[in-house]
Amino acid sequence: PENPIDFPFDTRPQKYDKEAWSKLSPLEKKNEKALWQKWGADASNSALAKEWEKITGDSKIVDIRPIEGDPAQGFVEVFK
């Protein structure tokens, strides 16, 4: 598109389930937390977050991820 969405969805850090998280070393956990903090800062400063704040008046929280699997199920999730 001419004006692509300015949001770092493609750099979102990996999510771990409880079991996988428990197997990480303290240093790995610290590094993962730092990655999430950096990503959160980048996401809050994106043009999309700023535009959403203008619309809502008080929220910069946006969550954009590609739909995986059945697109119909993805739309159902979005419109819940």
Categorize the per-residue pLDDT at 79 as very low, low, confident or very high, splitting at 50, 70 and 90. Answer: confident
Cα–Cα nearest to 12, from 51, 48, 49, 38: 38
Within a domain: 66: no
Structurally, the chain folds into a number of domains equal to: 1
Q: Show the domain range for 27.
A: 17-57
Q: State the pLDDT at residue 30.
A: 97
Q: Which two tokens stand for residue 3?
A: 């004006």
Tens digit of each residue's pLDDT (9 = 90 or more) over 4-63: 677 777 788 888 999 999 999 999 999 999 999 998 888 888 888 888 999 999 988 887
Rounded to the nearest 5°, which phi and psi values hold at 38?
-65, -45
Task: Label residue 68 by pLDDT band (50, 70, 90).
Answer: confident
Domain annotation covers residue 69: no
pTM over 0.85: no
In this prediction, residue 1 carries a pLDDT of 58
Q: How far apart are alpha carbons 15 and 33 in whole angstroms? A: 11
